[in-house]
């Protein structure tokens, strides 16, 4: 269709252009034919000089033949203005043969003059005047008549002058016509380009629409396929506007009953929302939304996706523990238009975890009792003065005792992790100087570091760092970090233990020059029984409980723990604990 429109436009433009040479010549041809009819119809009009008459007709016939050729050969069109020149000569001879200056057919001169004057350029006005004068003076130039008076001479001057004026008018009109034609052509080209762009845009629109439909079908398929997770969308007030099959499976209501009718906080335990609002220090009545919903979406509103455990309440009153991820929904301008709540039922996970902790606790208790008995009897055998042991027997007994103590420590760690998971984590908290705990931990790790050829560096602040916590557990956390750093650092390496006071926090950092941890494994470090690939690859002993215990201790003390590591360069663990307010320093000590 586009091609047909383009061809039609070219045809119209061609027709609007200067008519073909044959069309222009047709006026002269019809004029000559009319003149011949007059000559034949009126015998009193004589042909006074036949050679001149027939020569003139020959010139006009040659001009007509040339016009025909040029019409069929557009590449020769630039020579078309040669045709009216032949016509003017031919008409001049025709006129000379039919009465000379008194010829009835002088008016025929105007026809080729108009053609010639329509040429592009002012010079064709001059050509018209000169050739008109030649055509009018043809009888005199051929010697067929002699001017009898000055009027005869003036005829060859004044008449061409008048024709030149007419030619000037025709030339100007032709120039304006060409300008208009150029404008029309430019407009036609613009329209053609616009049409082409419109067609291309329509094709792109069709393609985009097809992609959108495919995407919409895929989205609807994915949305309908998500049945294990509840996905609920709301506006900024908490009104539900999207409800997937997983939400129906978890909570009960169908989409048509929930969308635009229920609020997300209708499915939450009010006391949990109120408790969260208190954690965020929301003054009652001073929030734009209700405090419970504000607490639910606070982290997402600030731009950070939050994942935490909540309790959903079904319409029948039954409760479901869920792990809920809340994210913000924005429009094309980045403005918040609502929130997305993705929840997973953790009932089974909690039950599995509880059974696992019970199993670990049970096994640990069952192991601890015989281990204590074994250690007691080993001690009795070693201290029996009535039956002293040989040196070799004492050596064997020492190996058994060391391994029994090692197994007892492992059992203790298992029991401790079970206590953490069950929420029964006892703390004997009081105000303690953290620098004393760090120094004691460094001192305890000294022999192991010396034996491994590792430099152990201590950096302490010049101000006290008093924290409220259990000194035994805090010492256990620092011990774990330092012993890990020593284990993972090759001989000749360095472990730096630093304590710094920063505003309202004490920061313990343990930095080593060891084998490092792959970046992809950093988020798994604090999981129970997880061991980095660098540890297993280098056969570093351990069961993967130390960091889990350390983080549990830090979290129980309202602290934070972070890690930075680069494989082959080293690792840095940071342990941040809140200072007792009265001991907060005025300045900052790096």
The HSE-up count of residue 377 (CA atoms within 13 Å, CB side) is 7
**CATH topology for the 430-583 domain:** Heat Shock Protein 90 (3.30.565)
Under a CB-based contact definition with an 8 Å cutoff, are residues 589 and 459 in contact? no
Please give the order of strands across the beta sheet that includes 570-578.
455-459, 494-502, 505-512, 570-578, 560-566
* Contact (CB, 8 A) for 343 and 244: no
Whole-number Å distance between alpha carbons of 53 and 142: 12
SS3 317: coil
Average pLDDT over residues 185-202: 86
pLDDT winner (highest mean) among 1-5, 137-141, 240-244: 240-244
Neighbouring-strand partners of residue 498: 459, 509
Quote the CATH superfamily of domain 227-345.
Answer: PAS domain (3.30.450.20)
Edge to edge, the sheet with strand 240-243 lists 240-243, 229-234, 336-345, 319-330, 306-313
pLDDT at residue 497, rounded to an integer: 92
Give me the sign of the Cα torsion angle 165, 168, 173, 174: positive
Instruction: Write down the residue that tokens 């989205």 correspond to.
Output: 219
Q: What confidence score (pLDDT) does residue 225 get?
A: 66
Q: What is the pLDDT of residue 529?
A: 66
Closest CA to 556 of 423, 464, 430, 465: 423
Q: Name the nearest CA neighbour of 478 among 514, 508, 436, 446.
A: 508
- Kindly give the pairing relationship between strand 505-512 and strand 319-330: unpaired
Top-confidence residue, 283 or 508: 508
Instruction: Evaluate if residue 285 carries a pLDDT over 50.
Output: no
Burial zone of 23 (CB within 10 Å; 0-12 exposed, 13-18 middle, 19+ buried): exposed
% the chain with pLDDT above 90: 6
CATH class of 350-422: mainly alpha
CA 41 to chain centre: 88
Degrees, nearest 5: CA angle 505-510-515: 145
- What average pLDDT score do residues 141-159 get? 67
Q: Which residue has the higher pLDDT, 101 or 423?
A: 101
Least confidently predicted of 94-98, 190-194, 234-238: 94-98
Which two tokens mark 151?
């009027």
Strands 319-330 and 240-243, by their bridges, are: unpaired
> Is 482's pLDDT higher than 80?
yes
3-state secondary structure of 298: helix
Task: For CA atoms 505, 275, 524, 471, give the dihedral sign.
Answer: positive
Looking at every residue in the chain, the average pLDDT score rounds to 78
Residues 425 and 552: beta-carbon distance below 8 Å: yes
* CB neighbourhood size of 473 (10 A): 22
Tokens (6 digits) for 543: 């069961």
Query: For residues 173 and 120, what is the distance between their CA atoms, to the nearest angstrom?
Result: 11
Residue of higher predicted confidence among 335 and 4: 335
All structural domains of the chain with their residue ranges: 2-193, 227-345, 350-422, 430-583
* Structure confidence at residue 171 (pLDDT): 74
Give the pLDDT band of residue 499 (cuts 50, 70, 90): very high
How high is the pLDDT of residue 424? Answer: 62
CA quadruple 383, 388, 392, 396: dihedral sign: negative
Whether residue 576 contacts residue 558, with contact meaning beta carbons closer than 8 Å, is answered with: no
């Amino acid at each position: 269709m586009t091609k047909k429109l383009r061809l039609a436009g070219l045809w119209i433009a061609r027709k609007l252009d200067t008519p073909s040479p044959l069309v222009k010549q047709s006026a002269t041809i019809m004029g000559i034919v009319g003149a011949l009819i007059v000559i034949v119809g009126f015998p009193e009009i004589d042909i006074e000089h036949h050679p001149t008459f027939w020569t003139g007709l020959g010139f006009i016939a040659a001009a007509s033949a040339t016009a025909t050729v040029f019409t069929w050969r557009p590449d020769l069109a630039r020579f078309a203005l040669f045709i009216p020149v032949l016509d003017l000569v031919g008409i001049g001879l025709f006129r000379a043969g039919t009465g000379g200056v008194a010829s009835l057919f002088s008016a025929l001169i105007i026809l080729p003059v108009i053609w010639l004057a329509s040429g592009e350029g002012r010079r064709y006005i001059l050509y018209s005047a000169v050739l008109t004068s030649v055509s009018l003076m043809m009888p005199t130039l051929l010697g067929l008549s002699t001017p009898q008076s000055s009027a005869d001479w003036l005829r060859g001057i004044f008449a061409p002058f008048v024709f030149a004026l007419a030619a000037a008018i025709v030339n100007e009109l032709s120039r304006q016509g060409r300008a208009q034609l150029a404008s029309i052509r430019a407009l036609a080209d613009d329209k053609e380009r616009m049409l082409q762009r419109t067609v291309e845009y329509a094709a792109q629109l069709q393609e985009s629409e097809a992609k959108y439909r495919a995407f919409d079908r895929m989205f609807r398929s994915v949305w309908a396929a998500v049945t294990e997770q509840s996905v609920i969308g709301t506006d900024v007030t908490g009104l539900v506007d999207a409800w997937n099959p997983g939400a129906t499976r978890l909570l009960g209501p169908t989409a048509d009953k929930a969308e635009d009718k229920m609020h997300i906080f209708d499915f939450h335990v009010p006391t949990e929302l109120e408790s969260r609002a208190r954690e965020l220090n929301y003054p009652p009545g001073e929030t734009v939304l209700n405090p419970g919903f504000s607490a639910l979406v606070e982290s997402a509103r600030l731009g950070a996706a939050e994942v935490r455990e909540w309790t959903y309440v079904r319409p029948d009153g039954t409760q479901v523990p869920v792990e809920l991820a809340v994210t913000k929904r924005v429009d094309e301008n980045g403005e918040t238009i609502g929130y997305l709540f993705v929840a997973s039922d953790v009932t089974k996970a909690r039950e599995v975890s509880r059974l696992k902790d019970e199993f670990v606790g049970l096994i640990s208790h069952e192991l601890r009792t015989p281990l204590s008995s074994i250690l007691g009897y080993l001690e009795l055998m070693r201290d029996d003065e009535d039956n002293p042991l040989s040196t070799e027997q004492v050596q064997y007994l020492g190996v058994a005792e060391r391994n029994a103590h090692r197994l007892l420590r492992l059992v203790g760690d298992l029991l401790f992790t079970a206590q953490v998971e069950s929420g029964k984590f006892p703390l004997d908290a009081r105000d303690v100087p953290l620098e004393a705990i760090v120094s004691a931990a460094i001192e305890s790790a000294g022999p192991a570091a010396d034996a491994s050829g590792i430099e152990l560096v201590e950096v302490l602040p010049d101000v006290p760092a008093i924290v409220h916590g259990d000194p035994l557990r805090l010492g256990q956390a620092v011990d774990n970090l330092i012993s890990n750093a020593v284990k993972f650092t090759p001989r000749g390496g360095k472990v730096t233990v630093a304590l710094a006071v920063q505003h309202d926090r004490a920061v313990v950092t343990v930095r080593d020059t060891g084998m490092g941890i792959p970046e992809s494994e950093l988020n798994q470090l604090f999981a129970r029984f997880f061991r980095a690939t660098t540890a297993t690859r280098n056969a570093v002993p351990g069961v993967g409980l130390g960091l889990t215990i350390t983080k549990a201790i830090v979290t129980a003390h309202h602290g934070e723990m972070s890690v930075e590591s680069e494989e082959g360069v080293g690792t840095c663990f940071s342990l941040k604990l809140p200072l007792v307010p009265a001991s907060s320093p005025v300045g900052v000590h790096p």
